[in-house]
Amino acid sequence: MYDIRLTGVTKRFEAFTAVNDINFTIPKSSVTVLLGPSGCGKTTLMRMIAGLESPTEGRIFFDDHDVTDVPTRRRNIGMVFQYPVIYRGTSVRRNLELPLLSEKLSKAEIEKRVDEVAEILDLTSVLKRQVEELDNGTRQKIAVGREVARQPKIILFDEPITNIDLTSKLELKRSMKELFGRLQQTIVYVTHDQTEAMTLADQIALMQDGVITQSDSPKEIYEKPTSQFAGWFLGNPGMNFVPPEFISVSGNKVSSPLFSQVIDMGTRAKDADTYGVRAEGIQVSLTETKGGVPAKVTRKSIGAGGQYLLDLAFGSLLAKARVSHEIGKAASGMVYTTIASENITFFDKSGTAI
């Protein structure tokens, strides 16, 4: 399998820079998710990896081969797009085997590969059906299966779940997860959906305005965002941010009315402008505790797994806390909160974690 190395890759559309000087390696045989809001350059970057678009500047390598000028059909890649590409008027089996017929493969090998991907994607029972009879989610599985059966070295996915109806979405996501666990290929998966990224990725490359701002494992990027943008974009809800008027810095020490401890930040203290804390980083107690900071519960909602999300008001400042079912159910009026120092991420004026 290939790793994909991008060096100084830039794409301009006239005066507009869609992808800006990206230097990044996508490791082989793992799942890298390009995650970011609409318009940040994900598709453009993927299309350059595919050879459907040429970089304005920079080079693209698959291992040590410079493929910048190599046409798509000679790059040994598979591609899955937002809308399922299927061959109408034929069966599912036919759809899966068609691209294999032009390769020099025995009939037995073709059958083996088709049966294998059908099994992984849960398509075995529909192999004989006509593609028109099947829902959008199943059609997208067929499009995925067809690319996988060809066994390219790299498979690129561009928001393959985004336009699938809600009922099929979860099933398709589950199938993708199963598939990715089995594949040896280098996978690049584009999405704007952070939940999808957290579920599927070995590593997330977070994009903003044409650059990759952070790349890490889902856990790492969630727990240790290097920017306010990452803290905000990842998670549901995103990180709570506390503005400068709630922070006081005295020498190396930082304090805030939201927590009772004083944090020694060393020389970084002078740059502390805002801080962020995840909803689950705010501990909530129903009774007064030592060091507990009072907050008013203004709203509560129950989420996946029975946990509650509480909207808390610390005076004029609002924050969300994720709590257990028991605490959430009982919480009303005033509660008492603590925030452990390790759950606090400070940011400087530019929004960079310090």
Let me know: does 348 contact 273? Beta carbons within 8 Å. Answer: yes
* 44 interface partner picked from ligand ADP, Mg ion, none, CB below 5 to 8 A per type: ligand ADP
Instruction: Please say which residue, 49 or 149, places its beta carbon nearer to ligand ADP.
Output: 49
x/- mask, ligand ADP, residues 114-133, rule CB under 6 A, reads: --------------------
Q: Is the previous residue joined to 71 through a cis bond, with omega within 30 degrees of 0?
A: no
Partners of 191 in the beta sheet?
A: 35
Integer Cα distance of 296 and 298 in angstroms: 6
Instruction: Please say which residue, 44 or 186, places its beta carbon nearer to Mg ion.
Output: 44
Q: What order do you get walking across the sheet with 4-13 strand by strand?
A: 16-26, 4-13, 57-62, 65-66
- Contacts (Cβ under 8 Å, ≥6 apart) of 252: 264, 265, 266, 267, 269
Let me know: does 339 contact 322? Beta carbons within 8 Å. Answer: no
Integer Cα distance of 296 and 326 in angstroms: 18
Q: Restricting to residues 18-77, which ones interact with ligand ADP according to CB under 6 A? A: 18, 36, 38-44
Q: Restricting to residues 2-21, which ones interact with ligand ADP according to CB under 6 A? A: 13, 16, 18
Provide the minimum distance between the beta carbon of 49 and ligand ADP in the complex, in angstroms, as a whole number: 12
* 13 interface partner picked from ligand ADP, Mg ion, none, CB below 5 to 8 A per type: ligand ADP
Instruction: Please say which residue, 40 or 142, places its beta carbon nearer to ligand ADP.
Output: 40
Integer Cα distance of 205 and 211 in angstroms: 10
228 binds Mg ion (CB under 5 A): no
Provide the minimum distance between the beta carbon of 95 and Mg ion in the complex, in angstroms, as a whole number: 25
78 binds ligand ADP (CB under 6 A): no
Instruction: Please say which residue, 13 or 306, places its beta carbon nearer to ligand ADP.
Output: 13
Q: What is the DSSP string of 98-143?
A: HHHHTSS--HHHHHHHHHHHHHHTT-GGGTTSBGGGS-HHHHHHHH
Q: Restricting to residues 33-62, which ones interact with Mg ion according to CB under 5 A? A: 43
Chain residues binding ligand ADP by CB under 6 A are 13, 16, 18, 36, 38-44
- Note the residues at the interface with Mg ion (CB under 5 A): 43
